[in-house]
Structure 1
Amino acid sequence: MKQPIISFKNVIKCYDDDVPVLKNVSFEIEEGKFYTLLGPSGCGKTTILRMIAGFSEPTEGDIYFEGRRINNVPANKRQVNTVFQDYALFPHMDVYDNIAFGLRVKKLPKNQIDQKVKEALKMVQLAGYEKRGINEMSGGQRQRVAIARAIVNEPKVLLLDEPLSALDHKLRLDMQYELRELQQRLGITFVFVTHDQEEALAMSDEIFVLNNGNIVQSGTPVDIYDEPINHYVADFIGESNILNGTMIKDCLVEFAGKRFECVDEGMRENEPVEVVLRPEDLDLTDEEHGKLKVKVDTILFRGVHYEIICYDDEGNEWMVHTTKKAVPGTTIGLYFDPEDIHVMRFNESEEDFDARLESYED
């Protein structure tokens, strides 16, 4: 494996005498990928971004860029640029001057500045907008100007601090596609901060899920969605049905008063566990063919599917996403395959979780 472009080694960050914002955080970022730091407000994701940018220093631990320790390297000496949530554009300057600002500070020749600005505008599909005023542009166009201003300096890493949060829903979706396509076209490393799990799943090569100053799980969007490590991740990433259960033995789990075949292994016999079934993995059927019998409580139309809330004989609530309709008050069956059941151990570390998965996948 080639050397990572960014590494955090046992980083702790405290402000004054408060509880640490980051608690012994370690991770590596490879060159040329789209990474997302995902978590709720106050979890530490923006603090990580600020330390990569050089706006904040770790209280303990080390940060490396291409193998070189950069704890005390000032922001203007780092090969990174940041796109802020409010874009931080100069309203008194036109598009061209906003993008050219950093190049002029570096005292580049005028013809070189002109070439770089026009190339950057072309990359973000704003060629011909050079003389447009910032206040005359839409939110999506302003964001692209902010990105052009960042990439014109040819950074090795582009940091994006919740840049889509101020946009309306449709524009936000459009910009997700544009950002992902831009990253792939440029081939530089993007580190994106968001609290929106759908955004993270749609855009990322790798996701770091944070909670309370710790990275609780990292991996591809598919890995994190299909194999959440604990209740927090399962509940935060998408909709989930989470129940207490017992791992009877390898590939056999008990929950909702019944035993079911599953694909999980490597746990103790009769170990208390939590069980996850995603709403879209549940199929409606009749009582006779269902693995569980449930009574329909409510049904809502969500546009692309119905969201059905129902209850089993044990009083457990089940959420189902399906294109089939059901009638409130009726009793139906729920069917699912062994592969749809995901079993989580209590207090399992990510290292132990990964090792257990590898042991029975091999």
Structure 2
Amino acid sequence: MNTIISFKNVVKQYDDDEVILKNVSFEIEQGKFYTLLGPSGCGKTTILRMIAGFTEATKGDIFFDNQRINDIPANKRLVNTVFQDYALFPHMNVFDNVAFGLKIKKMAKADITKKVREALKMVQLPGYETREISEMSGGQRQRVAIARAIVNEPKVLLLDEPLSALDLKLRTDMQYELRDLQQRLGITFIFVTHDQEEALAMSDEIFVMNKGRIVQSGTPVDIYDEPINHFVADFVGESNIVNGVMLEDNLVEFVGKQFECVDGGMRGNEPVEIVIRPEDLTITTPDKGKLVVTVDTQLFRGVHYEILCTDEDKNEWMVHSTRKAKEGSKVGLFFEPEDIHVMRFNESEEDFDARLESYEE
């Protein structure tokens, strides 16, 4: 695959304020759906604005199609942005909103009409050319904003939390539509969100950010199944995290017991953190469980019960189960060796990847 965007040791700092981006480097491949995922203030929107040309890097280099673009103005870059508030012109109808960029380029009227109709068809709004923006729903407005962006045929489409203002049902529907649109167009999407479910559902690749750094990158499955540290494990999905000791390859100790696992490549008796996802815990009888816990509370989440339990050492365990438990009862928790994920303290992503490769061989 061809690399279309790359950041090389990029730093962003405003005057004497805190550094927003801290020596960030990454590559974006053409034709994929990328997500920048992280909490507010982590730097993800700053990266988007740098790609668009709205914000300059303090240090480092940004490349687009192997050309350094630090000094290229926003209107000369082959990217378009869909903003969180859509930034539509309320005094213009749908056609004029979508055609705005083409008119600036002084394109022929017949060509503008053809391109606008094609763009509206792509976002499932054919025949809406004369509709006023005030007459449209939130999901329809978002489609108009996307049509206005793709009508300019950008190589990269930037999306800055465009689903955040929608209700849950519409947001879910738009996730499917955005993913389908990206695959049909074949252009690169870079999506910014703090919603981990959105990131997992739509992305080919995810960059998880925290405090101005990319702390882990990979496919949704990689990020979810193999979190590199406590932050990623806690931020991406629900997690049970406890302290433990890696006794040797494939043998770990936590909550006072030894368990077989599938991790390795660490020092003997090394302090570690243990992650077990709630859906990987099965409630059984105390004699059949690897852990014995007391059921504290439970909530019905529609597809499963979310059950909170406590072990003898006061560690809290969350379980996702399709079966209801009895509050106050003692139950067993069963899990397989592959359900245990072991995390080293302060391990870099490079060392983590190297360790994975070593015990996959």
Q: TM-score, normalised by structure 1?
A: 0.99
AA aligned to 1:269 is G
Show the 5 A alignment for 1:29-68: 29-68=28-67
Counterpart CA distance in 1 for 2:280 and 2:226 is 14
Matched, 1:88 2:108: no
Tell me which residue corresponds to 2:24: 25
Residue correspondences, number:
361
- Cα pair 1:249 1:269 within 8 Å, conserved: yes
- Cα pair 1:11 1:23 within 8 Å, conserved: yes
Tell me which residue corresponds to 1:142: 141
- Cα pair 1:283 1:335 within 8 Å, conserved: yes
Counterpart CA distance in 1 for 2:174 and 2:294 is 41
Tell me which residue corresponds to 1:334: 333
Counterpart CA distance in 2 for 1:143 and 1:17 is 37
Tell me which residue corresponds to 2:179: 180
Shift of 1:89: 0.4
Counterpart CA distance in 2 for 1:201 and 1:3 is 23
Shift of 1:18: 1.0
| 1:27-85 residue CA offsets vs partner (Å, 9 max, x unmatched) | 00000000000001100000000000000110000000010000010000000000000
**Secondary structure of residue in 1 paired with 2:117:** helix
Tell me which residue corresponds to 1:233: 232
| 1:252-311 residue CA offsets vs partner (Å, 9 max, x unmatched) | 000011000000000000000000000000001111111111111112111111111111
Tell me which residue corresponds to 1:272: 271
RMSD value, Cα:
0.6
- Cα pair 1:225 1:238 within 8 Å, conserved: yes
Tell me which residue corresponds to 2:153: 154
**Secondary structure of residue in 2 paired with 1:260:** strand
Counterpart CA distance in 2 for 1:316 and 1:104 is 62
| 1:127-146 residue CA offsets vs partner (Å, 9 max, x unmatched) | 00000000000000000000
Structure 2's unaligned 5+ residue stretches are none
**Secondary structure of residue in 1 paired with 2:306:** strand
Q: TM-score, normalised by structure 2?
A: 0.99
**Secondary structure of residue in 1 paired with 2:85:** coil
Shift of 1:317: 0.7
Tell me which residue corresponds to 1:249: 248
Q: Percent same amino acid at aligned positions?
A: 78
Shift of 1:326: 1.1
Show the 5 A alignment for 1:247-326: 247-326=246-325
- Cα pair 1:3 1:67 within 8 Å, conserved: no
AA aligned to 1:260 is F
Runs of 4+ aligned structure 1 residues displaced above 2 Å come to: none
Counterpart CA distance in 2 for 1:27 and 1:46 is 15
Show the 5 A alignment for 1:208-227: 208-227=207-226
AA aligned to 2:308 is I
Tell me which residue corresponds to 1:79: 78
Shift of 1:3: 3.6
Tell me which residue corresponds to 1:116: 115
| 1:173-223 residue CA offsets vs partner (Å, 9 max, x unmatched) | 111111000000100000000000001000100000000000000000000
